[in-house]
Amino acid sequence: MHKILINELKFLRKGSGLTSRKLQQTPELRRAITEKYGFGADTLAINHVHNYLLQELNSLGESIEARAVRNAFGLGWENNPYNLLKRRADFSMQLRRHSDTVEAYENQCMEELAIRLVSALPQASYPEIRSVNVSAASQGAQPEPSLNIARKMIVQGLSELYGLGPHASEIFRCFGNNKSAYLDANVELQLLPSRRGPDFFNYKLRYTFRGQRKGYKLGIVTNSQDGELLANGRLVDDVYVFLNMERDLEGEISYFLSQSHFMFHDQETGTQRVLQFAKMDESSRQELLSLIWRLDNADITIIEVAIPEEGQKPGTLYEHRFSFDMPIDIHCVFWKSPAFMYLNNMTVDVSKFPDRDSWQFNMQPFMGHALRGINRPDDNRYFLAANCWLMEGNGMVLVWSKPIKG
């Protein structure tokens, strides 16, 4: 098998170098790669095999041998690959070495590639990925083979890059595990007077983001434990916790529904369409929540919108607005990213907070390396230019207290 792999690699470096079309004529190489990932023969698409080989060639380092073999396979010659003899002669001139010497460098690295391909992956380092979309599982569906292949390739690459070892299979938890990403998101948060009087304030939030969605679900819970379980269950797009529920819960939810809107923008026509949230029917709610073990679903409400077909195009601009009232004596609010998100900007405005001059505010982001600094010229409007990816759970906390008198 080793000798056949070497011959097929030598075939791939001929002419214009490594191409997807030529990979069709290397059955032993394709079989070795599919077996390395734990799939049956011919399961991997040609583009996955091509990407794998590019990854392996780029991971060889910057030795003369590694550079020589990448040159032989046409990497760096994509605009005009010429042929193998021309690429080798050019590299020989750069090194001031004979072409035969450069060919020997190429052969040496191809030997290393072949050894990598026939060496089984350590099971401890690359365990099987078993994450399954909860919604798909509830319908008896399995992940698409191409999706599983992509996951395995990502896990292998990140495990080698960061030395993840036996924890490699958990990597997708960092990205929200099957939840749709929020792209080019902008978040605006305002604290306003409440219709209930001076003992409350109104928390108003507005998102804009890009993506492709068929619907949007929100979970409403009355305690933090249920909120965490529901968020970790990946069944809804976001979760809101209604604390201090001595008040009428149904009345609070009805008010929340009246203040919650979802819309999509049609950039081709310059129009937008507003969608109203509605409570999920009881049988669907019970079926959905039954998928999460230990969840007490008695006081959990699911509200949702169905997005029409014209609002499901890739890269559609969505907008979500909502508000609800909170007791003013909690002295703290927070915002967390509901899923993997690319955050452009975040703005927090407290200028209209009840009795604003009596309070001192402080915003503390917990966004890891995404934090670039906060601009707060008058302590009424906090502006954070992130322009970076956030993991699920990254966010900020805003606290307020009476100023300390000197």
User: To 5 degrees, how large is the angle CA 230–CA 231–CA 232?
Assistant: 90
pLDDT of residue 72: 93
pLDDT of residue 280: 94
pLDDT of residue 142: 44
Between β-strands 200-211 and 316-327, what pairing exists: parallel, antiparallel or unpaired? antiparallel
pLDDT of residue 144: 54
Element containing residue 138 per DSSP (H, E): helix 134-138
Strands (E) in 172-228, as ranges, are 182-193, 200-211, 215-221
pLDDT of residue 119: 67
Q: Using CA atoms, how far apart are residues 31 and 41, in angstroms rounded to an integer?
A: 5
pLDDT in tens, 117-155: 776 443 333 333 333 343 443 333 444 555 666 676 777
Q: Using CA atoms, how far apart are residues 283 and 270, in angstroms rounded to an integer?
A: 38
Q: Using CA atoms, how far apart are residues 232 and 381, in angstroms rounded to an integer?
A: 32
Inter-residue contact 45 to 144 (CB < 8 Å) = no
Helices then strands, counting H and E runs in the chain, come out as 12, 15
Q: Using CA atoms, how far apart are residues 214 and 219, in angstroms rounded to an integer?
A: 17
Output the CA–CA distances (angstroms, integers) from residue 168 to 135, 147, 174, in the order listed.
24, 17, 11
Domain covering 182-401, topology: Immunoglobulin-like (2.60.40)
Inter-residue contact 187 to 264 (CB < 8 Å) = no
3-class secondary-structure state, position 74? coil
pLDDT of residue 271: 82
pTM across the whole model:
0.65
pLDDT of residue 123: 35
**How confident is the prediction along the chain (406 residues), in pLDDT tens digits per residue?**
788 899 999 999 999 899 888 998 998 888 888 777 666 556 667 877 887 788 788 777 788 998 999 999 998 887 788 899 999 999 999 989 999 999 999 999 998 888 877 764 433 333 333 333 434 433 334 445 556 666 767 777 777 777 777 677 677 767 755 568 899 999 999 999 998 898 899 999 999 999 999 999 999 988 888 888 888 777 899 998 876 555 677 888 888 899 999 999 987 777 899 999 999 999 999 888 887 777 777 789 999 999 999 999 888 999 999 998 888 888 999 899 988 899 999 999 999 999 999 999 988 888 876 555 566 656 788 888 888 888 888 999 999 998 877 5
Q: Using CA atoms, how far apart are residues 200 and 198, in angstroms rounded to an integer?
A: 5
Q: Using CA atoms, how far apart are residues 251 and 122, in angstroms rounded to an integer?
A: 57
pLDDT of residue 33: 82
pLDDT of residue 166: 64
Buried b / exposed e over 289-321, threshold 16 CB at 10 Å, is beebeebebeebbbbbbebeeebeeeebbbbbb
Q: Using CA atoms, how far apart are residues 339 and 261, in angstroms rounded to an integer?
A: 19
Helix axes 27-36 and 2-13, enclosed angle (nearest 10)? 110
pLDDT in tens, 330-350: 899 989 998 889 999 999 999
Inter-residue contact 196 to 325 (CB < 8 Å) = yes
- Residue spans of the domains in the chain: they are 2-175, 182-401
Helix axes 64-72 and 46-58, enclosed angle (nearest 10)? 150
